[in-house]
Amino acid sequence: MIDEITVTGDDLNASPDALRLDQFLKLRAIVGTGGQAKVMIQNGDVQVNGQVETRRRRKLRMGDVVEVGGTQFLVDATASTR
């Protein structure tokens, strides 16, 4: 099962290419801090589109699937603004 998260343009600084993996983990409340995200990513505990990802600044795009602990999260970015 994939949990969906809709990310607005405000979350992405109005650019769908601006959301980083570490930001996504915090935004989705998978981790509480950037430090926790960094450790989790560097330990190889996070996959993006089925591949282990160790770059915390990896850019996420619409349709990417992030997996942590067997749970998948779909990145569904919309370019809405306030």
Locate the domains of the chain by residue range. 2-77
* CATH architecture type of domain 2-77: Roll (3.10)
Locus of tokens 């949990």: 3
CB atoms within 10 A of CB 77: 22
Q: What is the pLDDT of residues 11-63, one digit of tens each?
A: 544 455 579 999 999 999 999 999 999 999 999 999 999 999 999 999 999 99
Helix (H) or strand (E) holding 21: helix 21-27
- Give SS3 for 16: helix
pLDDT of 79 > 80? The answer is no
Q: Which tokens go with 67?
A: 């997996």
